[in-house]
Amino acid sequence: MDWDLIAGQQLLKDQLKKSIQDQRISHAQLFLGKEGYGTLPLALAYAAEILQQENPTAAHRVSHLNHVDLHFSFPVFNQGKSSLSQQFFYQFREMILTNPYSSYDDWSSYLESENKQLFISSDEVDEQNKKFALKSFEGGSKILIIWRADKLNAPASNKLLKFLEEPPEKTVILLIAENSDDLLPTILSRTQLVEVPRLTDGELYDHLTSKYTLSDEQLKSIIHQSQGNLNTALRLMNQEGSTEFEELFVQWVRDAFQVKKRPEFLKNIIIWARSIAAWNREKQKNFLDYCAEMFRLAMIQNYGAENLVHRKIEGGGFNWESFSKFIHGANIESIITEINDADYHLQRNANAKIVWTDLGIKLSRYIHKSA
């Protein structure tokens, strides 16, 4: 991974490069931050720089993820009696070469594993222990990148701890995680923390305009919603021009309004829920994010801050201004809570039909609540 291909993070890039130049490379480091901030691209660029210092031809092989002294561990599901990363490395390599900012949900969708639990097992740590007990092929450093180390199960965490305590010579272990709460405190205490911050709006702007052609209005809307996350920005870009989410949101709102006086509209909500439940988990999550954002913007519209409303629904005869009057301080918290709860349950493989039906019906209760 070339440093120049990473969006923003210039200060962190300089710090990582300097640590190599000064030969202050900690044997175990934790890159902590959301995937859309650039944790994996930074770890890949860092690994390439370390190996390149030892062999000038190494960077090219790292960029193609085929360097013999660069190893990966990542969450997978049980296949047969084992759950080893190497069984899925071809798919992982293909995904990362396509988009090094890929998320855990992207990986789950890539494997079509929505109903399977992905984790890093103790067998995986044992396998890496065997590999790192051998000398490096090129005589220099051996590097292990553990992507989504927060998915280590308990036995794997304990075995990794021993690996961190007594690493083989010339070993560099780079852990990548979104949340340190899911890592053993003893693992945290044995790693050097590399905090990867959210991208600034300026960094997102520079990166997007260097690669894509967007209007100023589109850019403003995407950057505002992305909250410094490049993954979110790219997802929103893919939604631009698509009316599917908008149509389903409008359908939900209209049916929810009708249910109070005409219970027969409940059937429409059940059909609506079943159609969405058939999507993969990533698309369902994206639609939840879209709904949360539209309710939030409707409330802002209702309270007169129209200059902050960067996006409206105006097609299909939908009256945005009239709708916004029903979203206010007395119901917005309940609505967003229900959306967040639905997201939580979907991530834990709850029955999607039940989750969406429950969410669809509850809106009919909250949307009529008086301000």
155-171: per-residue pLDDT in tens? 999 999 988 888 888 88
131-143: per-residue pLDDT in tens? 888 877 777 789 9
37, 229 Cβ separation under 8 angstroms:
yes
**Block residue for tokens 């009696």:** 81
The average pLDDT across 106-112 equals 81
Torsions phi, psi for 304 (to 5 deg)? 85, 10
What's the gap between Cα 367 and its chain centre? 30
319-366: per-residue pLDDT in tens? 888 888 889 988 999 999 999 999 888 877 788 999 999 999 988 888
Percent of the chain with pLDDT over 90: 32
pTM over 0.75: no
How many other CB atoms are found less than 10 A from the CB of residue 147?
A: 26
Task: Determine the pLDDT at residue 241.
Answer: 47
Alpha-carbon gap, residue 353 to 257, rounded angstroms: 21
Task: Determine the pLDDT at residue 83.
Answer: 83
Alpha-carbon gap, residue 242 to 312, rounded angstroms: 14
Helix (H) or strand (E) segment spanning residue 194: strand 192-195
